[in-house]
Structure 1
Amino acid sequence: MTTETWIEAAALASVPQDDVIAIEIQGREIALYGVDGEVFATDNICTHGHARLCDGFLDGHAIECPLHQGKFDVRNGEALCAPLTDNIRAYPVRIDGGKVWLDLR
């Protein structure tokens, strides 16, 4: 049995399309990405260097770290190229009532 714990994270209108913003929720810094009418969420700190991904460049489903230009897939947190060796954590997202909800478990 799967138990999901959804937490209201942001208003959908606050997530820009084709861009990334940072939010803090439950003591975690999360990046929210607006891509092709969908919203994705990952940890906001790069696994390679302590850089904030919200300061990086979003190109489609790839966020480029501003420090060493490594890229992650925002849909699943997968590290896409060097110098990255570790994925970032991605979170399930649900849109309901004009709000973005996250499962941070």
Structure 2
Amino acid sequence: MTSNWIDVAVQEDVPQDDVIGLAVAGRDIALYGVEGEVFATDNICTHGHAQLCDGFLEGHEIECPLHQGRFDVRSGQPTHAPATEALRSYPVKIEGGRVWLALD
């Protein structure tokens, strides 16, 4: 159930074609601006302990800065080795120019 929506950012603060990291309810979250939409995943790579907000966003793929594994930011699924384990992704909604995440 996705009823626990948390206001996390102003939509304008999520740059297009880039990624930012933030702390939300004790979690390290990455927000991605892609083609006018905002996506959210855990910010820590599942392959190596690196922050994805320091990586490279190309289209819908984030590349880990440590070992160049890649993930689809829409689903968290790995798209390129050495990453094999999916990232946790979170539902996002935009209301009133604010970015909201459902963490449960």
Using the size of structure 1 for normalisation, the TM-score is: 0.97
One-letter amino acid of the counterpart of residue 100, structure 1: V
Q: Does 1:48 align with 2:47?
A: yes
C-alpha displacement at 1:85, in angstroms? Answer: 1.2
1:89 and 2:88 equivalent?
yes
Provide Cα deviations, 1:32-70, integer angstroms capped at 9, x if missing partner: 000000000000000000000000000000000000000
Q: 1:3 and 1:89 mapped to 2: Cα distance?
A: 14
- Cα 1:13–1:49 change in 2 (3 A) is same
Partner of 1:8: 7
Shift of 1:3: 4.8
* Corresponding residue SS for 1:54: helix
Give distance in 1, aligned partners of 2:3 and 2:72.
Answer: 23
RMSD over aligned Cα, in angstroms?
0.7
Runs of at least 4 residues off by over 6 Å: none
Instruction: Name the TM-score, length of structure 2 as normaliser.
Output: 0.98
Superimposed CA distance per residue, residues 7-49 of structure 1 (whole angstroms, 9 cap, x where no aligned partner): 0010101000000000101000100000000000000000000
Structure 2: state its 5+ residue gaps: none
State the Cα deviation string for residues 72-104 of structure 1 (Å, max 9, x = none).
000000011110110000000000011000001
Identity rate of aligned residues, in percent? 66
User: Unaligned stretches of 5+ in structure 1?
Assistant: none
